[in-house]
C-alpha cells in the first residue's frame, strides 16, 4: 500500500469524523467548516467552540490527530487536492490554442520593471504626474486663475459688500469676512487653493492607478522600502499620501502587519507632504531651485532616517513582499473622472467642516485673546529656528491643517517678509510639522490614542529640531539661498 494513500485516508476519515460531530448551523456546509478547522482557522475554531461546545474538545482532538499525521501543513495538502480537482475539470473544459505573440503591453511592462529603464520612467512619472501637473498646472495656473481671477476680483469684494449690508456688527462680520473669516479665508482656501491642487492630484493618481503602474512601482522600490521596515506594498499609501495623508493613513490598514502600519503612519505624519501642502510649497519655492533641492533633500533624508531608526527600534518581524502585477491597461476616461469625483467629494466632506471650524476657532481665539497668547508662545521656537515672528501665525494654522499653515506662509512670502534661507527653513519645518486635525483624528481611529498622541509629540519636537539644524547649517557654512 502506498503511503500517500495512507495519508489520504487519514485526511478523509478526519473529515468524516469532524463533519459528524458538527451539529450547529454555520451558514456554509459542515465539510467546509471541517476544512477550515483542519487548516487551523482561528476564527472558525472559536466559532465552533461557541456553537458546538459539547463536541468541541473531541473535534479538536480529531483535527490535531490529522495534523500530526503530515509533515506539511494541512492547508497545503488540502490546497493541492483542491487544485487536482480543478485541473481535472480544466482538462475537460479548456483548450489552449496558439496565443497571438507577446503583446506590446507586455513589452512596455518589461521596460517599466527593469531597473535600468524603470527607474528613469518612475522619475518621469513623478516629475510629470506630480511636479508638472499638480505643482505647475494645479498649484500654479489653476490656483492663480481661481484666486486672483475670481476670488480677489469678484467674490471677495462682493461678499464683503453684502455682509456690510446684512450684518451691521463689526465683530460678527469679521467671523465671515475678516482676515481669517469663514468666507474670505476658509472658503477661499478650500476652493481657490486646495480644490485645484487636490483635484489635479487625484486625476494623476487615478490615471497611475488604473493603468496598473502602482504594483510595478512597488516591485521597483521594495528593496529600498525594506530598509525602512516597509515592503513595496507600502508605496501605495505613500504615493497616496502625496495627495492626502488622512486618506493614506486610512489605507495603511491594507498593510499586513501592525509594525508596518505603525511605521507607515509615523512617516505619513512626519515626512510625506500632502498635495495641498505640496502645491503651496512648490509655488512658494518657485524661482528658488536651489532651495527646492535643499527642501527635497532634507525631507527625503528625514523620511529614510526616521524609517530606518523605527524599523530598528520597533519589535516584530520584518515585512515580506508579494503582489500581483496586473496587465497594463489604458485608463478609461470615465473611470478616471468618476474616481476623482468620489475622492474629491470625500475630501471636501472631510475638510470643509474643518476649514470652517478653524475660522470659528480663530475668531473666538482672537476675541478672547487666546489666539494671541498661543501665537506669542509659538514665537519662541519660531525665533529659535531663525524665522520672523509673523510665521508663528502660519504655524498655529498648521495645527489645524498643514496646508492652511503653508497657505499662511504663502501670504507672508507675498508680503516679502522672508529671506531665501528663512523660506526654506520655514517650508522644511512646516512640512515635517504636526499633521492636520483630520489626520490626527484618523491616527487615533486607526492606531489608537496612545500611538496618535505619541506620534504628534514626536513630530512636534522633531520638526523644530530639524528646522533648527538646517538653520544652523545655513549660518555655519554661510549658505545663502
Nearest CB to other proteins, comparing residues 119 and 376: 119
Whole-angstrom distance, CA of residue 442 vs CA of residue 413 = 31
Nearest CB to other proteins, comparing residues 148 and 320: 320
Q: Which of 46, 114, 172, 290 binds other proteins (CB under 8 A)?
A: 114
| Closest distance to other proteins from the beta carbon of 277 (Å) | 20
| Closest distance to other proteins from the beta carbon of 95 (Å) | 4
| Closest distance to other proteins from the beta carbon of 259 (Å) | 14
CB 105 within 8 A of CB 327: yes
Question: Any idea which residue has 473669516 for its cell?
Answer: 181
C-alpha cell at 8: 489520504
Contacts with other proteins in 210-239 (CB under 8 A)? 210, 215, 218-223, 226, 231-232, 236
Q: Which of 20, 50, 90, 164 binds other proteins (CB under 8 A)?
A: 90
Phi-psi region of 335 (alpha: psi -120 to 50; beta: other; left: phi over 0): alpha
The set of residues, in sequence order, having a beta carbon less than 8 Å from that of 203 and lying 6+ positions away, is 133, 336, 340
CB 250 within 8 A of CB 343: no
Vertex 453: Cα angle to 294 and 425 (nearest 5): 20
Q: Per-residue x/- marks for other proteins, 193-212, CB under 8 A?
A: ----------------xx--
Question: Any idea which residue has 499525521 for its cell?
Answer: 69
| Closest distance to other proteins from the beta carbon of 234 (Å) | 12
Contacts with other proteins in 254-273 (CB under 8 A)? 254, 256
Whole-angstrom distance, CA of residue 168 vs CA of residue 473 = 52
Binding-site size, other proteins (CB under 8 A): 83
Alpha-carbon separation of residue 50 from 23, 26, 47, 173, 367 (angstroms): 12, 11, 5, 62, 59
| Closest distance to other proteins from the beta carbon of 91 (Å) | 10
CB 197 within 8 A of CB 351: no
If one asks whether residue 25 binds other proteins (CB under 8 A), the answer comes out as: yes
C-alpha cell at 311: 524599523
Question: Any idea which residue has 498643514 for its cell?
Answer: 402
CA dihedral 58, 59, 63, 68 (to 10 degrees): 0
Contacts with other proteins in 422-461 (CB under 8 A)? none
| Closest distance to other proteins from the beta carbon of 287 (Å) | 36
Q: Which of 50, 86, 164, 172 binds other proteins (CB under 8 A)?
A: 86
| Closest distance to other proteins from the beta carbon of 164 (Å) | 43
Nearest CB to other proteins, comparing residues 41 and 286: 41
CB 193 within 8 A of CB 201: no
Q: Which stretch binds other proteins (CB under 8 A): 68-76, 150-158, 353-361, 409-417?
A: 68-76
| Closest distance to other proteins from the beta carbon of 65 (Å) | 12
| Closest distance to other proteins from the beta carbon of 334 (Å) | 10
Contacts with other proteins in 318-337 (CB under 8 A)? 320-327, 332, 335
The set of residues, in sequence order, having a beta carbon less than 8 Å from that of 215 and lying 6+ positions away, is 323, 324, 325, 326
Nearest CB to other proteins, comparing residues 121 and 396: 121
Contacts with other proteins in 31-60 (CB under 8 A)? 31-32, 35-36, 39, 41, 43
Question: Any idea which residue has 535643499 for its cell?
Answer: 294
If one asks whether residue 315 binds other proteins (CB under 8 A), the answer comes out as: no
Nearest CB to other proteins, comparing residues 170 and 324: 324
| Closest distance to other proteins from the beta carbon of 99 (Å) | 4
The set of residues, in sequence order, having a beta carbon less than 8 Å from that of 450 and lying 6+ positions away, is none
Q: Which of 98, 315, 416, 478 binds other proteins (CB under 8 A)?
A: 98
| Closest distance to other proteins from the beta carbon of 327 (Å) | 8
Whole-angstrom distance, CA of residue 425 vs CA of residue 392 = 13
Q: Give the three-class secondary structure for 178.
A: coil
Whole-angstrom distance, CA of residue 247 vs CA of residue 351 = 11
Contacts with other proteins in 368-427 (CB under 8 A)? none
Q: Which of 7, 167, 352, 453 binds other proteins (CB under 8 A)?
A: 7
Contacts with other proteins in 334-363 (CB under 8 A)? 335, 338-339, 342
Q: Which of 93, 166, 313, 349 binds other proteins (CB under 8 A)?
A: 93
Query: CA 339, 342, 345, 351 torsion: positive or negative?
Result: negative
| Closest distance to other proteins from the beta carbon of 92 (Å) | 6
Reference 460, options 396, 404, 391, 372; nearest CA is: 396
If one asks whether residue 245 binds other proteins (CB under 8 A), the answer comes out as: no
For 219, counting Cβ atoms within 10 Å of its Cβ (0-12 exposed, 13-18 middle, 19+ buried), the class is: buried
Amino acid at each position: 500500500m502506498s503511503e500517500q494513500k495512507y495519508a489520504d485516508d487519514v485526511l478523509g476519515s478526519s473529515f468524516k469524523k469532524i463533519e459528524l460531530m458538527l451539529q450547529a448551523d454555520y451558514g456554509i456546509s459542515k465539510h467546509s467548516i471541517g476544512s477550515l478547522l483542519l487548516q487551523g482557522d482561528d476564527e472558525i475554531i472559536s466559532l465552533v467552540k461557541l456553537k458546538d461546545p459539547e463536541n468541541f474538545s473531541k473535534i479538536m482532538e480529531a483535527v490535531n490527530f490529522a495534523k500530526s499525521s503530515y509533515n506539511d501543513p494541512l492547508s497545503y495538502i488540502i490546497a493541492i487536492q483542491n487544485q487536482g480537482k480543478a485541473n481535472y475539470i480544466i482538462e475537460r473544459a479548456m483548450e489552449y490554442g496558439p496565443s497571438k505573440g507577446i503583446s506590446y503591453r507586455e513589452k512596455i511592462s518589461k521596460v517599466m520593471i527593469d531597473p535600468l529603464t524603470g527607474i528613469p520612467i518612475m522619475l518621469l512619472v513623478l516629475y510629470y504626474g506630480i511636479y508638472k501637473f499638480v505643482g505647475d498646472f494645479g498649484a500654479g495656473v489653476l490656483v492663480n486663475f481661481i484666486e486672483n481671477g475670481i476670488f480677489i476680483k469678484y467674490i471677495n469684494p462682493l461678499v464683503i459688500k453684502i455682509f456690510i449690508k446684512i450684518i451691521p456688527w463689526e465683530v460678527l462680520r469679521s467671523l465671515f469676512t475678516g482676515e481669517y473669516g469663514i468666507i474670505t479665508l476658509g472658503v477661499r482656501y478650500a476652493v481657490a487653493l486646495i480644490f485645484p491642487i487636490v483635484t489635479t492630484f487625484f486625476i494623476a493618481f487615478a490615471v497611475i492607478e488604473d493603468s496598473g503602474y502602482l504594483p510595478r512601482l512597488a516591485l521597483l522600490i521594495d528593496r529600498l522600502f525594506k530598509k525602512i521596515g516597509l515592503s513595496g506594498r507600502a508605496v501605495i499609501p505613500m504615493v497616496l499620501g502625496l495627495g492626502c495623508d488622512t486618506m493614506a493613513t486610512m489605507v495603511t490598514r491594507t498593510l499586513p502587519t501592525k509594525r508596518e502600519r505603525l511605521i507607515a503612519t509615523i512617516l505619513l505624519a512626519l515626512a510625506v507632504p500632502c498635495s495641498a501642502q505640496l502645491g503651496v510649497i512648490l509655488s512658494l519655492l518657485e524661482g528658488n531651485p536651489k532651495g527646492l533641492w535643499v527642501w527635497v533633500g532634507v525631507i527625503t533624508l528625514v523620511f529614510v532616517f526616521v524609517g530606518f531608526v523605527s524599523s530598528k527600534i520597533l519589535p516584530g518581524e520584518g515585512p515580506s513582499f508579494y503582489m500581483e502585477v496586473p496587465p497594463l491597461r489604458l485608463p478609461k476616461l470615465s473611470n478616471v473622472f468618476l474616481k476623482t469625483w468620489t475622492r474629491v467629494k470625500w475630501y471636501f466632506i472631510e475638510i470643509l467642516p474643518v476649514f470652517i471650524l478653524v475660522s470659528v476657532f480663530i475668531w473666538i481665539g482672537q476675541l478672547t485673546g487666546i489666539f494671541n497668547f498661543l501665537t506669542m508662545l509659538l514665537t519662541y521656537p519660531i525665533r529659535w529656528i531663525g524665522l520672523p515672528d509673523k510665521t508663528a501665525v502660519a504655524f498655529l494654522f498648521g495645527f489645524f491643517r498643514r496646508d492652511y499653515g503653508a497657505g499662511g506662509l504663502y501670504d507672508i512670502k507675498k508680503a516679502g517678509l522672508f529671506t531665501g534661507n528663512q523660506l526654506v527653513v520655514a517650508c522644511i519645518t512646516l512640512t515635517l510639522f504636526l499633521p492636520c486635525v483630520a489626520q490626527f483624528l484618523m491616527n487615533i481611529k486607526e492606531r489608537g490614542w496612545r500611538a496618535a498622541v505619541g506620534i504628534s509629540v514626536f513630530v512636534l519636537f522633531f520638526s523644530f529640531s530639524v528646522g533648527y539644524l538646517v538653520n544652523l547649517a545655513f549660518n555655519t557654512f554661510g549658505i545663502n539661498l
